Amino acid sequence: MDFEPWWLIFVPVFFGLGWIAARVDFKQMLSESRQLPDSYFKGLNFLLNEEPDRAIDAFIEVAKLDTETTELHFALGSLFRRRGEMERAIRVHQSLLARTDLPQVDRENAQFEIAQDFLKAGMLDRAEAAFEAVSTGRHAIAAVRALIYIYESGHDWPKAIEAVRRLRTLVDEPVPQLVHYQCEQAEAALKRREPNLIQAEQALNEAEKAAKELGQKEGSRASTARIFMLRAQLAYLQNDYALQLFYLQEVLRVAPQYAGLIAAELMQCYSQQEQAPQGLALLQKHYEQYPSIDVFAQIFKALRQQQGATAAWTFARQALQQHPSLLGLDRSLQFELQHPDNPDAQHVLGGDLHLLRTLVHKHTQRLDKYACQHCGFEAKHFYWQCPGCTQWESYAPKRLEELQA
């Protein structure tokens, strides 16, 4: 395309139009800036000078003069909460809620924001009330989820169960921890000075129902094993040892890795029915496929009681050669020292058993713990919910030594 000289006429025209547009925008910007209250600029100045308390006062004054500054307060409150300055975040959101002219939508948002402030600050009672206030509005799903967390943190299992039911009416999603909520109720009923067997059975029925609703994909062997363990405890309190044995055997079937948690109870149950040899045979067979320290210890103890020191230590040598374990040796020495009158003991092992056990035990104390697979929190006892990170089923049913092997 050839250049035409008359096109040059448009150059000054375009320049003039651009200059006029710039002047109009600049005048509009100056006009809008003059309309902003002085408190707004004071607040920005205080914020830049790291004087947040004076900045909050200034922005609250802006809110009184200009009702269209709510977004500024929401942003400021969120900033303070992210930085962990909870008192300032609460103060900002309380200033919004104190306004009588605040639109209903903004009021709900402010109520939800201050509920999150209370929750992060650890003020669970106030957080519960604040989330309840918005549990039927546009923030209903998030509010009910927060309430579930609050009730779970406080071990208020009835309220947690009710909150889960409320959540299910709002959104169709599985809540796997519901099984454990019911199990917690059952366990509490069984541990009372006077166990409430009816309440425990009702809770376990609800736990089984919740597990069934989760289905194969969402359900877990851990929760199923816990239900069977509690069923076994219930049967024991009802003096129904045959039923107790059935549920303990079911644990071995559905969750063989949890055998260590019930090995002692299983042997006791067989012994009560005068079937200790059968219990020993079952544990030995299970150990061949699923070796664990606790199962090893119960086998050694049973052999020591039923067949003597030679048979027990013959098993221990073979097992420890295949699966070396200081904890296993420690458990064996502990049980051996419970039978110091056996003349075979010194012949089998020789030396000072007390000294040997003391030396071994000193090195096994740090290994004789369970560990959360999520946060690493270590504990002497097994937990279904980690005390550190509150995750469910995050503890492997194995000691630290086994996990590090």
First to last CA, the chain: 80
> Does 389 count as an annotated binding residue?
yes
Q: Let me know: does 297 contact 328? Beta carbons within 8 Å.
A: yes
Question: What long-range pairs does 25-33 form, CB within 8 A, spacing at least 24?
Answer: none
Give the distance, in angstroms, between the CA of residue 300 and the centroid of all CA atoms in the same chain.
Answer: 36
The Cα–Cα gap between 2 and 239 comes to 106
Scored b (16 or more CB within 10 A) or e, 129-164 reads ebbebbbeeebbeebbbbbbbbbbeeeebebbbebb
Structure tokens at 295: 């199962």
In the numeric block, the tokens 């900045």 are attached to 55
Question: What pLDDT does residue 27 have?
Answer: 45
Q: Which two tokens stand for residue 173?
A: 């999603």
Distance CA 252, CA 271 (A): 18
pLDDT, one tens digit for every residue, the chain (405 residues): 454 565 455 455 445 555 455 444 434 443 444 445 555 555 556 555 666 666 666 666 655 545 556 777 787 788 778 888 899 889 888 888 888 888 899 899 999 999 999 999 999 999 999 999 999 989 999 999 999 999 999 999 999 999 999 999 999 888 889 999 999 999 999 999 999 999 999 999 999 999 988 774 444 789 999 999 999 999 999 999 999 999 999 999 999 999 999 999 999 999 999 999 999 999 999 999 999 999 999 999 999 999 988 899 999 999 999 999 999 999 998 888 877 655 554 545 545 777 788 888 888 888 899 999 999 999 999 999 999 899 999 999 999 998 886
Closest CA to 69 of 78, 61, 81, 79: 61
- Amino acid, res. 125: D
Please, what is the angle between helix 293-306 and helix 276-289, to 10°? 150
Which residues make Cβ contacts (< 8 Å) with residue 160, sequence separation at least 6? 148, 151, 152, 181
What is the dihedral sign for C-alpha 24, 25, 26, 31? positive
Q: Give just the sign of the alpha carbon dihedral 49, 52, 55, 59.
A: positive
Judge whether 183 is annotated as a binding position.
no
The amino acid that residue 216 corresponds to is Q
Q: Give the pLDDT of residue 405.
A: 65
269 annotated as ligand-binding: no
The annotation status of 375 as a binding-site residue, yes or no, is yes
Q: What are phi and psi of 378, to 5 degrees?
A: -100, 145
d(CA 192, CA 177): 23
Question: What structural domains does the chain harbor?
Answer: 69-98+107-169 (1.25.40.10), 178-276 (1.25.40), 291-353 (no CATH), 366-405 (no CATH)
Q: How much is the pLDDT for 75?
A: 76
pLDDT at 24: 44
Q: Is the pTM of this model over 0.95?
A: no
| Per-residue confidence (pLDDT) for residue 213, from 0 to 100 | 84
